Chain A
C-alpha cells in the first residue's frame, strides 16, 4: 500500500505542471560542430531462407559500399558487432549498437521466390532509439539485385542527410584504350559505381562527350564517323543512333539537352569560327545564339532552362559567361587567375562547376552562378569535364596523367572538396555524364 501511495504521489507530481518552480531552462547557443563521417552499421540482411542468403549478403555489402563511398559515412566492421541481427522483426538492441558507437543502423530482410526478389529494410537512429522514416519493402527481380541495393542506400542516405541520394543512377562515359596517339574510344554506360559496364558504340570512330537527356533515355554525343565531328543522338534502350543534321559542310560538337529535353544547345564551327546554336529537336530548326569572332563552346543550361552558361575567349582567354537561353547579352562571371572552361550548372541551380587551368595545373572547381565564392576542389596535371550527381552533391570528372603513358581515369569528389576517389572502369575512362536517378 505504501508503494501504491508513493506512486500516487509521484503521479500527481508528474501530472501537475510546472514541475520546477525555480529558474527557467539553461539556454545555450552552439555554432561550431564537427564534420566527420557518421559511423553506421549494416548487419547482413536476414535471408528468409537459404536461397536468399547470397543476395542478402551481397545487397547489404552494396548498401554499405554506397554509403561509405559518399565520404559522409563510415561503416563499422561486423567484427565489432555485439548484437547479431537474426530476425528482422525482433526488437533492436540499441545498447549493443551504442556501445560500438554506431549512430545509424540499417536492418533488412531478403526473400527470393523464383526470379522475384523482395527486400525489406528499416533505418534506425541508434542513440535516440527511433526509426528514421518507415520501413520499406522493395520488390523486383533477382537480376536487378544491385539496383535494389542502390535504392535501399538512396533511402538511407536521404533519411539521414535530408537530400536525395544518387546511387541508383547511371553514368555514360567514353571508354579509352590504346596509346595516346592511337587512342581507341567507345561510348559506354555503367552504374554510378562502375558496375555493369556496357558499350554503346565500337571504336571505329572517335567519340566524345556523351550527355544524358533529362530523363536518361537518350544520349547526345559527338562522333567522327562521317570524318568530321558531328552530333548524334542515341536511344539508350534500343542502342540506336541517329545523326542530328546541322548545317552542311560544318563541324558541330559539345551538345547538351535543355532541361525539358526538347531542344539542344551546341557549338557549330563555320569558317573556323565556333559559335553557339540551339536546335529544336521536333522541327530540326536551328537558331544562332552567339555571333562573335571568338570561340564559344561548352554550353550548359540552368535547371530552369532560362539561362545558359558557356565558355568564350572573347576577352582574350577562355572565361565563363552567362546569357539568356535565347541568346542576347552575356555576362562574364569568372575573374580569377587562369583560364576557365566546361562550365556545368548544378541540378540544384546554386552552383556552377568548371575546369580551371592555371600555372600549368588543372582544377575542378565550383562557384556561385554569379561567379562568387570560387572554390577549387582538385588539382592535377589534367582534370577536366565535370558532371554533377543527380542531387548536386558530388562531381565526377576526367583525370589524365601526363607523359607518354598518360591515361584517363574517372574520378569523383564531394563538393566540399573531400572524398576524392577514382571510379573504377575496365579501361581508361573520360567525359563522364551522370544520368538522373532511375525510376
Chain B
C-alpha cells in the first residue's frame, strides 16, 4: 500500500473517529454565565431606609462565555474556572462548626392537605344519570394524567412506564435475565379533577361522556421487557458497534436486503402508544403547549435509539424558547421510552429504521 493511501486512510479514520466520538470526548469548556444577586437581609430590611431606592445594579443574566469574567464586585477577583476539569480534590467535609453566622431554617415543607375524596363528580355533561355502579367509572384525582386511567399499582411495585412482572433468579437462570423488581405503571387519572369537581354529596350525578378517541384501537398488551425478542447481538451499550455492523452490512450487500412489508396500523399504533406514554407535557408552559414539533430519529435493530440521532425537524406555533422546550419534552419521550428498545417487528426493520413523529399537544392543553 503506498504512502498516499495510508495517509488517506489515516485521515479518514481520524475523521470517522472524530465524527463518532467527538461529542463524548469534547474538551471544550462548558459555557458559564455569571449573575449578581442583590439581597437584603431580614435585619437590613427593617433598618433600611432611602438607600433601598438606590439602583441595585444586578448584573443581567447575560450569557458570559468566559468563566474568568471578573465580577463587578470590590472583592478579591474570584477566579471562576469552570472549564478546567481540574481534579480539584474535594476537601473532605469536616463537621460543620456550630458557629454558622446564620441560623438556617429548614426549607418550608408545604403539606398538601387535600382530603381524600370519596366520590368525584365529573363536570359538565348534562344527562343526569343514576350514580354509576363502580368507582372506576369516575375519574379520581391522581398525581398523573394519562390517556387511560390506571389503577393504583401494587404497593411494592416501582413506578415504571412498562408493566413488568417480577422475575426471580431461578426462573430466569437459563436466559440472561437479570432479577427484576416488579414494576407497574403509576396510578393515573384520565383527566384533571379539581377540588371544585369533587363533591361530598351523594345525590344523582351526571355521567361523563366517554372521551372521543378517533382511530384508536386498544393498544396491544405491552410487551414484557424481559421477553424482548431477538437475542440481539448488539446490546444497547454498543450502539456504535451496531452502527458499524449495519453500515458494513449495507455497504457489502449494496442495499439488496428486502425492505419488508409496511407496518400494519396496529404496529404503528403500538409504536405511537409506546412513545406517548413517555410524552409528559405536565411540565410545559402554556406557550410550549401550543407548539407542534416534528422530531426525527433512527433506531437500531434492537429498537433502541441511535445515539444522538434525535433531532428537531420542524416546529411551529410558539416562540423559539417555547419551541425549544416542546422539542426537549418530545426528545425525552423518545429517549426515555426507548431506553429498553421499542418493540417493533424485526423483519420490517427498514420500515422503522428512521422515524419522524409529529407531537401535537392540542388535546393536552389546559382547558
Contact = CB atoms under 8 A, between A and B. Distances in A.
Do A and B interact directly, with beta carbons closer than 8 Å?
A: yes
Interface of A: 1, 4-14, 19-38, 46-50, 53-54, 58, 61-62, 64-65, 69, 72-74, 86-87, 89-91, 98, 101, 103, 111, 113-116, 118, 120, 122, 125, 127-128, 131-132, 134-145, 147-148, 151, 155, 160-163, 193-196, 198, 217, 237-239, 348, 350, 363, 365, 373, 375-380, 393, 413, 415-424, 439
A128 B91 contact: no
A136 B146 contact: no
B111 A35 contact: no
A1 B13 CA distance: 12
B221 interface: no
Contacts of A143: 39, 41-44, 101-102
Interface in B54-101: 56, 58, 61, 63, 67, 71, 73, 75-76, 78, 80, 82, 84-88, 90-91, 93-94, 96-97, 100-101
Interface stretch (B130-138, B225-233, B284-292): B284-292
A291 to B, nearest CB: 35
Contact of B96 (A53, A145, A380): A53
19 contacts: A12-B251, A20-B353, A32-B276, A35-B282, A37-B144, A37-B282, A37-B283, A47-B93, A87-B87, A89-B88, A128-B335, A143-B39, A143-B102, A151-B35, A162-B324, A194-B108, A198-B42, A380-B195, A424-B110
B209 interface: no
B181 to A, nearest CB: 12
Of the candidates B188, B199, B357, the one having the most CB atoms from chain A within 10 angstroms of its own CB is B357
A136 B194 contact: no
Contact of B76 (A24, A87, A113): A113
A193 B259 contact: no
Interface in B183-205: 186, 188, 192-199
Which of B32, B76, B259, B339 has its CB near the most chain A CB atoms (within 10 A)? Answer: B32
Nearest to A30: B276
Contacts of A49: 91
A4 B35 CA distance: 50
A161 B288 contact: yes
B78 A34 contact: no
Contacts of A128: 310, 328, 331-332, 335
Contact of A139 (B12, B15, B37, B335): B37
B130 to A, nearest CB: 21
A34 B191 CA distance: 10
Interface in B236-275: 244, 247-248, 250-251, 255, 259, 262-263, 268, 271-272, 275
B280 A22 contact: no
Contact of A54 (B63, B96, B145, B268): B96
A28 B53 contact: no
Given A14-B16, A137-B32, 7 more contacts: A7-B12, A10-B16, A12-B12, A14-B19, A22-B350, A25-B356, A422-B110
Interface of B: 1, 9, 12-13, 15-16, 19, 30-46, 48-50, 52-53, 56, 58, 61, 63, 67, 71, 73, 75-76, 78, 80, 82, 84-88, 90-91, 93-94, 96-97, 100-102, 104-114, 143-147, 159-160, 186, 188, 192-199, 244, 247-248, 250-251, 255, 259, 262-263, 268, 271-272, 275-288, 296, 310, 321-322, 324-326, 328, 331-333, 335-336, 339, 350-364, 366-367
Given A13-B250, A134-B30, A137-B80, A25 B354 contact: yes
- Main secondary structure, interface of B, reads loop
A65 B110 CA distance: 9
A23 B279 CA distance: 27
Nearest to A118: B78
Closest 7 CB pairs of A and B: A144-B39, A417-B194, A237-B52, A162-B325, A33-B279, A163-B285, A376-B196
Nearest to B333: A33
B360 A29 contact: yes
A24 B350 CA distance: 9
Nearest to B95: A50
B255 A21 contact: yes
B331 A27 contact: no
A25 B355 contact: yes
Secondary structure at the A interface, as helix, strand, loop or mixed, is mixed
B11 to A, nearest CB: 10
Given A58-B107, A127-B336, A137-B34, A377 B356 contact: no
B145 A34 contact: yes
Contacts of A11: 12-13, 15-16
A393 B366 CA distance: 11
A136 B106 CA distance: 25
A198 B107 contact: no
Nearest to B5: A8
B317 to A, nearest CB: 12
A34 B82 contact: no
Contacts of B255: 20-22
Contact of B112 (A139, A141, A420): A420
B350 A20 contact: yes
B90 A87 contact: yes
Contacts of B193: 417
Given A10-B16, A239-B46, A103 B336 contact: yes
A139 B38 CA distance: 8
A396 B285 CA distance: 19
Nearest to A122: B30
Contact of A125 (B9, B44, B143, B332): B332
B268 A26 contact: yes
B144 A417 contact: no
Contacts of A373: 367
B194 A27 contact: no
B194 to A, nearest CB: 3
B356 A34 contact: no
A16 to B, nearest CB: 9
Nearest to A416: B366
Contact of B31 (A33, A111, A135): A135
Contact of B281 (A35, A87, A375): A35
A103 B278 CA distance: 11
A139 B107 contact: no
A120 to B, nearest CB: 7
Given A11-B15, A26-B351, A50-B91, A34 B358 contact: no
Contact of B192 (A10, A35, A47, A50): A35
B89 to A, nearest CB: 9
A137 B64 CA distance: 10
Contacts of B325: 160-162
Contacts of A26: 263, 268, 271, 351-352, 354-356
B107 A62 contact: yes
A34 B276 contact: yes
Contact of A53 (B16, B93, B186, B322): B93
Given A34-B281, A37-B143, A422-B110, A140 B192 contact: no
